[in-house]
Amino acid sequence: MKKYGVMLLVLWFGVSAGFAQDTSVNVNSFTIPELPGVPIIDGDLSDPVWADVPAIPMDKDGDSPAAAPGTGDLDIILKIAWDNETNALYFALNVIDEDFVNVRGVGSSLGNDNYNGERLEIVIDGTNTGDANSSTTSGLHQQYTFDMPNSYDDWDPENDIEAGILYDGFVGLFSTQYGGIAPSEEFVSVPVFERIEGTLNLDGTHAPWNIADDYVESAAQIRVTEAGLAEWADAPVEFNWEVKIIPFAYLMPNADLGVDLVDPANIANGWLDFWEDPVHEKLDMEENMVIGFTVQQNDADAWADAPAREHQTNTTGFDGNWNSSENLSGLILGPAGTPVTGWELQ
């Protein structure tokens, strides 16, 4: 396996050197600043380093022809920045959603129609190739997915769920043992389910939990905006995503790599055996580099029905069409920004 991995890595360096950093392959291009310091990934977007980062439009309403932009179905502030010292991209989103619905109760990464539910997706092509054959399951093109449960209380995965039943026993335990998030005027922290589709997942129906923070780190806070509500279901909410991603030029799917994802030791360390395999090519970011990307928030509004994606807002203007890098937006890595105090949320 290692011999195969080294051969593939040598071949990949030969191929990737031919890809140009070309903004013309992107639907939109946005210059993002280098941060003077890094935010704490906790879902609290008041970190001063975010204040001077420009907002990026999230203006596609998706596959609901009745939903015009700005109607309140999904109102989003998106900010993206990079940091040379940590070699990471940082994402901050503040979302207002008129109806926050997670029918399955553990986030929409569960099941084969997971794109229909409430979740954040970030697609990255570190080489910005514009390759029309590049998909979200290829080594070039990684799709990171983040979900929140609709219930949490005081749940602690390390104490309440043994590693051996982390996946298969998760749904029943979660839905029967825990209640909903109480309406609150204050933001409360919630767990986040992390997944890289086609790259680091078990069988297409379960999401890894707690990927190693050295590579992917995320957090969310949420609040119900109508404090008088007695139930969580179908509530209007405001929530924050905060994400750090170490970008890769090439990341081999684990189906080819063969890391044992259900090994308790791999679960405990965030699958470091996968991330640290030398076959992967980490992107060394520098000023003026262009990275293909899109950020998308999916939205389901009907609690009683099976999950259906009523709205979808993203940076590309396409209805979830990232089957080629030419349909991604482009991040141009800009110079360092100077922080100012305060960033007022919506």
Tens digit of each residue's pLDDT (9 = 90 or more) over 182-192: 556 688 887 78
- Predicted confidence at residue 290, as pLDDT, reads 94
- Predicted confidence at residue 279, as pLDDT, reads 94
1 within some domain: no
223 within some domain: yes
80 within some domain: yes
Q: In the predicted model, is pLDDT for residue 106 greater than 60?
A: no
Q: In the predicted model, is pLDDT for residue 167 greater than 50?
A: no
What are the tens digits of pLDDT across the range 206-253?
566 789 999 999 999 888 777 666 555 567 788 899 999 999 999 998
In three-state secondary structure terms, 288 is coil
The pLDDT mean for the chain works out to 75
231 within some domain: yes
Picking from 32, 114, 60, 7, the residue whose alpha carbon sits closest to that of residue 311 is 60
Q: Say which range, 156-165, 174-183, 231-240, has the weakest mean pLDDT.
A: 156-165
DSSP state of 181: P
Backbone angles phi, psi at 6, to 5 degrees: -65, -40
- Predicted confidence at residue 69, as pLDDT, reads 56
- The helix/strand count (H/E) of the chain reads as 6, 15
Radius of gyration of the chain measured on its C-alpha atoms: 19
272 within some domain: yes
Which CATH number do you get for residue 266? Answer: 2.60.40.1190
Q: In the predicted model, is pLDDT for residue 92 greater than 90?
A: yes
Q: Where are the beta strands (DSSP E) in 3-107?
A: 29-34, 55-56, 74-83, 88-100
Parallel/antiparallel/unpaired status of strands 329-336 and 29-34: parallel
45 within some domain: yes
Q: In the predicted model, is pLDDT for residue 336 greater than 70?
A: yes
What kind and span of H or E run contains 249? strand 248-250
230 within some domain: yes
Q: In the predicted model, is pLDDT for residue 272 greater than 60?
A: yes
Binned at pLDDT 50, 70 and 90, residue 152 comes out as very low
DSSP state of 200: B
On whether the pTM is more than 0.75, the answer is yes
CB atoms within 10 A of CB 145: 24
For residues 193-213, b (16+ Cβ closer than 10 Å) or e, as one string?
Answer: bbbbbbbbbeeeebbbbbbbe
Q: In the predicted model, is pLDDT for residue 257 greater than 80?
A: yes
Range(s) of the domain holding residue 196: 21-336
Residue 159 CA from chain centroid, whole number: 26
Query: What is the C-alpha separation between 310 and 61, in angstroms, rounded?
Result: 9
- Predicted confidence at residue 318, as pLDDT, reads 78
**Degrees to nearest 5, angle at CA 210 with 49 and 299:** 75
> Which of 156-160, 269-273, 320-324 is the most confident on average?
269-273
8 within some domain: no
- Predicted confidence at residue 342, as pLDDT, reads 65
- Predicted confidence at residue 111, as pLDDT, reads 55
Q: In the predicted model, is pLDDT for residue 81 greater than 70?
A: yes
Domain count along the chain: 1
- Predicted confidence at residue 82, as pLDDT, reads 97
**All residues at 6 or more sequence positions from 40 whose CB lies less than 8 Å from its CB, including other chains:** 47
Parallel/antiparallel/unpaired status of strands 141-147 and 188-190: unpaired
Q: In the predicted model, is pLDDT for residue 17 greater than 60?
A: no
Handedness of CA 58, 310, 130, 137 (dihedral sign): positive
Q: In the predicted model, is pLDDT for residue 8 greater than 70?
A: no
